[in-house]
Amino acid sequence: MSYINPFYSEKFESRHNAPDQKQIAEMLKVVKAKSVDEVIDQTVPANIRLKKPLNLPAAQSEFEFLNNFKKTISKNKIYKSYIGTGYYNCITPGVILRNILENPGWYTAYTPYQAEIAQGRMEALINYQTMVIDLTGMQIANASLLDEATAAAEAMHLLYASRKANKKDANTLFVDENTFPQVIDLLKTRSEPIGVKLEIGSLSKLDLTNPDLFAVYLQNPDNNGEVKDYTNLIASAHEKEVFVVMGTDLMSLVLVKSPGEMGADVVVGNSQRFGVPMGFGGPHAAFFATKDEFKRQIPGRIIGISIDASGNPGYRMALQTREQHIRREKATSNICTAQVLLSVMASMYAVYHGPEGLKKIAGRIHGLAQVLESGLTKLGIKQVNASYFDTLKLAVADNQAIKQKAEAAGLNFKYFSDNHIGISLDETTTLKSLQTILSVFVED
């Protein structure tokens, strides 16, 4: 057999479909077929098959594809993002990058059904749950969900299923209009099939006496970046047997009053800024925390500590409400997936920095926001948020003119429809970054 062939190119599929021609012939003999095409003819209905080949260019080798792909992605312009809205630049510690994100022992791991061989991973998830509980001020937290919007929809499901006796026919969820837009969009999608009516509007128009109202959704810090204390509102809601969900930001909770202290029933959000790269929008791990009374309805799974046969402490999946484990009619959630790798990264980020380190990072971010506000005020720019953590909302004469200058400087701000601009700072922001931002607002 000659191996001399100048036209040879390694085929990608040969790395994944192992059988050679001899092995294929043996398998065809077993199924009594003359060719693979005949097997397909016998198994795939003709009416769902294409009548002609796909109109695709010739296949490339993996080496050729990667080289061409690099040329394509090099056309992207990577601007510095100050958009915020749940997504922030962050610093991934090298030890976490090398040993978790780039480690196949972590990134290929699946659901830890066999507790005895997944103790390390479940300990990391216990850390994640504990971190979320500590920061949100709630009693229990799960081992993560897909993203913040999904977690918000799951909170809606949970509270709709947990309505009080005199609210059993209530079907209205009031959503603050200053909630993140991606959360509102998914709540619209997920509310309709279960018969929940969404009322999206200003909190000034919230009527807690509405007999059809079963829950309120708040964002804090909100889409404008403003931070508020909702203690009194939540207490008033509870007097009317109305639940309250709060979407929040983990880094802000290092410094500000927790949702648990305010009395929230469910707390959700994105743990991305705890060391997980933005990744052009995802994936990121959501957190979901609530009160102990809702533990039987909480979506996803909870990792707990038990005692093994030898009397030693061991970690296990203590609570799962996922429908593939129980009867579908008894399922409390349609979410079957967590973001374990990314929640592990977030938990290890908290372990790496520790409580004091997190306070210093959060304090620095807020301090930089104050410095930026001071600089903008000197330029005659009004900042409208009464209280904030990392986000300034600016009133300007023409936000599109600012947008043009910002993009020329490689900066992405958040642009509102009413000539306002949002600027969210993060862990990667420096004093030099602030100088670049301020230069955009200097009149020519």
pLDDT at 204: 97
**CB atoms closer than 10 angstroms to residue 410:** 11
How far apart are the C-alpha atoms of 378 and 133, rounded to whole Å? 41
Asked if the model's pLDDT at residue 248 lies above 90, the reply is yes
Residue 393 carries which DSSP code?
E
Asked if the model's pLDDT at residue 425 lies above 70, the reply is yes
pLDDT at 308: 85
Residue listed under structure tokens 């850390």:
127
Rounded mean pLDDT, 338-349: 94
Predicted confidence band at 1 (pLDDT cuts at 50, 70, 90)? Answer: low
How far apart are the C-alpha atoms of 267 and 136, rounded to whole Å? 7
How many CA atoms are closer than 13 Å to the CA of 212, on its beta-carbon side? 10
Claim: this prediction has a pTM higher than 0.75: yes
Give the chain's radius of gyration (CA, Å).
26
Lowest mean pLDDT among 44-58, 195-209, 401-415: 44-58
pLDDT at 393: 98
Write down the H helix ranges in 254-411: 259-262, 340-378, 399-408
Asked if the model's pLDDT at residue 230 lies above 60, the reply is yes
Averaged confidence pLDDT in the chain: 93
Instruction: Residue 343: name the closest of 222, 250, 261, 218 by CA.
Output: 250
pLDDT at 221: 98
Dihedral over alpha carbons 181, 186, 191, 192 (to 10 degrees):
100
pLDDT at 186: 97
User: Which three-class secondary structure state does DSSP give residue 20?
Assistant: coil
Rounded mean pLDDT, 237-263: 98
Asked if the model's pLDDT at residue 323 lies above 60, the reply is no
In terms of phi and psi (left: phi > 0; alpha: psi -120 to 50; beta: otherwise), the region of 440 is alpha
CATH 3.30.300.30, domain 80-87+355-441, yes or no: no
pLDDT at 8: 84
Please tell me the CATH code under which domain 94-349 is placed: 3.40.640.10
Asked if the model's pLDDT at residue 328 lies above 70, the reply is no
Predicted confidence band at 322 (pLDDT cuts at 50, 70, 90)? Answer: low
- The answer to whether the beta carbons of residues 252 and 227 sit under 8 Å apart is yes
Rounded mean pLDDT, 178-205: 97
pLDDT at 7: 85
Query: Sign of the CA dihedral 17, 19, 25, 30?
Result: negative
Q: What is the pLDDT of residues 63-101, one digit of tens each?
A: 999 999 999 999 999 999 999 999 999 999 999 999 999
pLDDT at 327: 62
Asked if the model's pLDDT at residue 332 lies above 70, the reply is no
Strand positions, DSSP E, 296-335:
301-307, 313-320
User: Which three-class secondary structure state does DSSP give residue 395?
Assistant: strand
How far apart are the C-alpha atoms of 175 and 216, rounded to whole Å? 6
User: Which three-class secondary structure state does DSSP give residue 201?
Assistant: strand
Instruction: Residue 427: name the closest of 256, 273, 285, 249 by CA.
Output: 273
- Domain edges within the chain: 80-87+355-441, 94-349
